[in-house]
Structure 1
Amino acid sequence: MRQIPVDTSAAMVMVAQPPAPKIANRQTGEIATDRETGAPLMTVDVMFVMDGNAEILNLTVPNTGISEELSMGTPVALTGVVARPWENEFNGQKRHGISFRAVAVTSLVAAKVG
């Protein structure tokens, strides 16, 4: 499958929706897992702002790559983001799009000491 690296270094990124488990099977509630590591997968929506334009991206991230303090509005750094074009057919209708995956989503807010 094609993977296109995404350069996020010039963008401002913040959490739009906190991480949630990625569901592999809606009927059984089974959580999706990473094919290589077996780690449970999470989804996190981020607001990606660059050149005055904002987009909401839905990222898939292994749970091991999510820092625990990700709440709405938290500024974050994205590591290893790739875009993957996809296409499928369901009930005779073709659908296509781009999915985004990251190795890690890390809070840029300093942890409170105390």
Structure 2
Amino acid sequence: MRQIPVDTSAAMLMVAQPPQPKIKDRRTGEIAVDLETGAQLATIDVVFLMAGVAEVLSVVVPQPGVSGELVMGAPVAITGLIARPWENEFNGQKRHGISYRAAAFTALTPAPVKA
């Protein structure tokens, strides 16, 4: 599967929705796990602001890669963000999109306000 590295160095990143378990099977509630490590996966919605454009991305990350308090509006750093184009066909209808995965999310403390 093709993976495209995403450069976040010029972007401002904020938590839109805190981490939620990534559900593998909605019927059973089974939580998805990383195939390499066996770690449970979480989904974090993040506001990606760059060049005057804001987008909300849903990013999958292994639970051990989540550090700090990731509350709504908190600034974050994302390590190892990649985009993966995908396409599938179901009942004769083709669907496609881009999924995002990261190695880690780290909460950033806002800079102190100078008086």
The two structures have a TM-score, normalised by structure 1, of 0.94
Secondary structure of the residue aligned to 2:67 is: coil
Deviates more, 1:18-27 or 1:63-72: 63-72
1:58 positional shift: 0.4
1:92 positional shift: 1.3
Aligned positions of 1:9-48 closer than 5 A: 9-48=9-48
CA deviations 1:1-59 (Å, max 9, x no partner) are 11000000100000000000000000100000001000000000000000111000000
Q: Percent identity?
A: 70
Q: CA RMSD in A?
A: 0.9
Aligned positions of 1:30-69 closer than 5 A: 30-69=30-69
Q: Which residue number corresponds to residue 80 of structure 1? A: 80
Equivalent AA in structure 2 for residue 4 of structure 1: I
Runs of 4 or more above 3 Å deviation: none
1:91 positional shift: 1.5
Secondary structure of the residue aligned to 1:18 is: strand
Where structure 2 has 5 or more consecutive residues not aligned to the other structure, the ranges are 111-115
1:68 positional shift: 4.0
Equivalent AA in structure 2 for residue 82 of structure 1: I
1:102 positional shift: 0.4
**2 CA distance for matches of 1:45 and 1:104?**
13
Aligned length: 110
Secondary structure of the residue aligned to 1:35 is: coil
1:90 positional shift: 1.2
**2 CA distance for matches of 1:94 and 1:109?**
43
Where structure 1 has 5 or more consecutive residues not aligned to the other structure, the ranges are none
The two structures have a TM-score, normalised by structure 2, of 0.93
**2 CA distance for matches of 1:19 and 1:61?**
9
**2 CA distance for matches of 1:68 and 1:25?**
28
1:69 positional shift: 0.5
**2 CA distance for matches of 1:34 and 1:102?**
12
